[in-house]
Amino acid sequence: MAPGLVDATPERLAHAHRIGGASIDGEGVRRFADPFDLLRTRQVLDRHDGNRNDRLWQAGERFRRHWHLGHMDGLAAFDFTRESVDGTGGASATAPSEAALRHRDAFRRAREAVGTRLLPYLDGMVIEGRTAASLRSLVTDTGHERTAETLVVERLREALDRLCDLWGMQPVVTARPITGWREP
């Protein structure tokens, strides 16, 4: 905790623990989850519609799962185009499984659907686990820090909406006739 700041009250900490917020370890230090997970817990993805908030989080989680199961992280990824040094080729003996290749294809399709303008926000928050404050430098529309953080979350929300559209996660809305709304 930063010097000079007052920590949350014990009641607030107990409430946060009940709803799945920050947990407290044996030494009394609060351990926060991934920033993207906190956006869901705090209803930041959509403050007014809890179902949409959960759908947006699920889209981000699916994006992260495709990245992870496709072995796209630095420790598991390898370059197929690399020249053979040891006689086994770029892929060596650890060629990716069929499932990993399917996840990589789904991950690439998702990145294409999101587009290059929104991709840094999605990658930063969902894959890299960065906070909105650390992504402020991506926003060049404003010089105000709070506005920049709000724009980061708004652009993340737009990217997640595109993923929901790609994967058919948006609810089907049927128009109701106006006569059904009126009382007789």
pLDDT tens, position by position, 30-45: 555 688 988 998 899 9
Total of domains in the chain:
1
Tens digits of residue pLDDT in 128-154: 999 898 999 998 887 788 888 999 999
Report CA torsion sign: 61, 64, 65, 66: positive
* Beta bridge partner(s), residue 24: 30
Residue 7 lies in a domain: no
Residue 2 lies in a domain: no
pTM for the complete prediction?
A: 0.69
Residue 147 domain boundaries: 17-80+95-170
Nearest partner of 164 among 62, 46, 68, judged by Cα: 62
The H or E element spanning position 24 is strand 23-24
Residue 29 lies in a domain: yes
What length is written for the chain?
184
